[in-house]
């Protein structure tokens, strides 16, 4: 008896803090670690980039138009080549990170939150507002995003906020419908009827019990949605409805390079690669987070420890 209690005491005394635990999990999964480092660098670039490289990214260099990459004659800033106005691509990637990540994060978070909440409501209740929410989602799905962008920009003007609103609205239905689908299945489970019989209110059941089980799938979707939003902004930029020059995002850089794929491939390639790597990192990290958060799968990230004797 005393041996067991003392080992329990020893174990609880030696248990490391939450952050340390997470960092240990991270170290166990090399790829997730690389992804986390990449994202941290990206955030750093987003925060410091405009201050460090702002000038280099916007100065015109008409004589360096479409300069090919890997040619250090023009300076190390031009190592990735130059775009159609002769501006070096590397500083533009660094500076563009802040606009890109900002817009995409804002749009994805907004749509995930709004869509998720509405989906939870729509799935759990059977009342009339559940139907209204669903039909509203159907209407949004049927409304072409280009038309929405055009209407918003025509009536409310060009601004980053309006752009985020447009992107968030068009992405909302998928979160709404996915959340609803999961809730439809979960609300029939035994733990829900158990909670109900113990007198828990609907709100508590939904938020405290059901939502945590819905969130992982939403996060999986949001990681790829990040890329979808960036590319949607790129398509809008191609039509001139995205972010307005001289501001730019990676998506806008990709759109600018569209006509040059066979002649100056680097203009669209590097920002495209940046988008790809960001998506990959987000996805790997979210999948790692999913494993770490799920008590039934956490063992994959834990080290085998000898039990105290």
**Residue from 8, 41, 68, 151 binding other proteins (CB under 8 A):** 151
Specify which residues 82 forms β-bridges with: 88
The radius of gyration computed from the CA coordinates of the chain, to the nearest angstrom, equals 24
**Residue from 112, 174, 195, 289 binding other proteins (CB under 8 A):** 174
Site residues (CB under 8 A) for other proteins, limited to 81-100: 84-85
206 binds other proteins (CB under 8 A): no
Question: Is there a cis peptide before residue 246, judged by omega within 30 degrees of 0?
Answer: yes
* Closest C-alpha to 57, from 27, 99, 21: 99
**Residue from 178, 233, 285, 292 binding other proteins (CB under 8 A):** 178
CA–CA separation, 113 and 176 (whole Å): 9
Which of the stretches 18-26, 101-109, 202-210, 279-287 binds other proteins when contact is defined by CB under 8 A? Answer: 279-287
Q: How many residues bind other proteins (CB under 8 A)?
A: 80
Which of the stretches 17-25, 73-81, 93-101, 215-223 binds other proteins when contact is defined by CB under 8 A? Answer: 215-223
Which of the stretches 3-11, 135-143, 160-168, 202-210 binds other proteins when contact is defined by CB under 8 A? Answer: 135-143
Give residues with Cβ within 8 angstroms of 7, minimum separation 6: 308, 309
Shortest Cβ 289–other proteins spacing (Å): 11
Site residues (CB under 8 A) for other proteins, limited to 36-65: 58, 60, 62-63, 65
Phi, psi (degrees; rounded to nearest 5) at 275: -60, -45
Which of the stretches 70-78, 160-168, 176-184, 202-210 binds other proteins when contact is defined by CB under 8 A? Answer: 176-184
Compute the 3-state secondary structure of the chain and give helix, strand, coil in percent, each to the nearest 5: 80, 0, 20
Site residues (CB under 8 A) for other proteins, limited to 97-126: none
Cβ nearer to other proteins, comparing 5 with 296: 296
How many C-beta atoms lie closer than 10 Å to residue 164's C-beta?
22
CA–CA separation, 127 and 131 (whole Å): 7
Cβ nearer to other proteins, comparing 2 with 155: 155
CA–CA separation, 177 and 164 (whole Å): 21
CA–CA separation, 271 and 262 (whole Å): 16
Shortest Cβ 36–other proteins spacing (Å): 15
Query: Contact letters (x/-) for other proteins, 230-269, by CB under 8 A?
Result: xx--xx---xxx--xxx-------x-x-xxxxxxx---x-
The region, left, alpha or beta by phi > 0 then psi within -120 to 50, assigned to residue 226 is alpha
Shortest Cβ 199–other proteins spacing (Å): 23
């Amino acid at each position: 008896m005393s041996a067991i209690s003392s080992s329990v005491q020893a174990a609880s005394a030696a248990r490391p803090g939450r952050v340390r635990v997470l960092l240990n999990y991270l170290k166990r999964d090399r790829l997730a670690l690389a992804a986390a480092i990449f994202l941290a660098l990206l955030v750093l670039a987003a925060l410091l980039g405009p201050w460090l490289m702002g000038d280099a990214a916007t100065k015109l260099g008409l004589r360096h138009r479409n300069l090919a990459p890997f040619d250090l004659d023009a300076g190390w800033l031009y190592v990735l080549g130059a775009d159609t106005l002769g501006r070096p691509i590397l500083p533009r990637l660094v500076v563009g990170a802040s606009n890109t990540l900002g817009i995409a994060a804002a749009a994805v978070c907004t749509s995930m939150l709004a869509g998720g909440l509405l989906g939870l409501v729509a799935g759990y209740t059977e009342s009339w507002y559940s139907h209204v929410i669903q039909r509203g989602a159907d209407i949004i799905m049927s409304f072409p995003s280009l038309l929405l962008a055009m209407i918003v920009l025509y009536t409310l003007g060009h601004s980053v906020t309006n752009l985020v609103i447009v992107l968030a609205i068009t992405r909302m239905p998928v979160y709404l419908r996915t959340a609803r689908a999961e809730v439809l299945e979960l609300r029939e489970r035994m733990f829900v009827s158990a909670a109900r019989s113990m007198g828990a209110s609907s709100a508590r059941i939904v938020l405290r019990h059901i939502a945590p089980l819905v969130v992982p799938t939403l996060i999986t979707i949001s990681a790829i949605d990040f890329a979808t939003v960036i590319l949607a902004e790129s398509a809008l930029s191609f039509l001139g409805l995205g972010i307005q020059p001289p501001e730019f995002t990676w998506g806008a850089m990709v759109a600018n390079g569209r006509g040059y794929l066979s002649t100056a491939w680097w203009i669209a390639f590097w920002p495209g690669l940046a988008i790809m790597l960001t998506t990959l990192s987000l996805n790997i990290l979210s999948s790692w987070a999913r494993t770490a958060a799920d008590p039934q799968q956490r063992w994959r990230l834990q080290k085998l420890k000898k039990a105290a004797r």
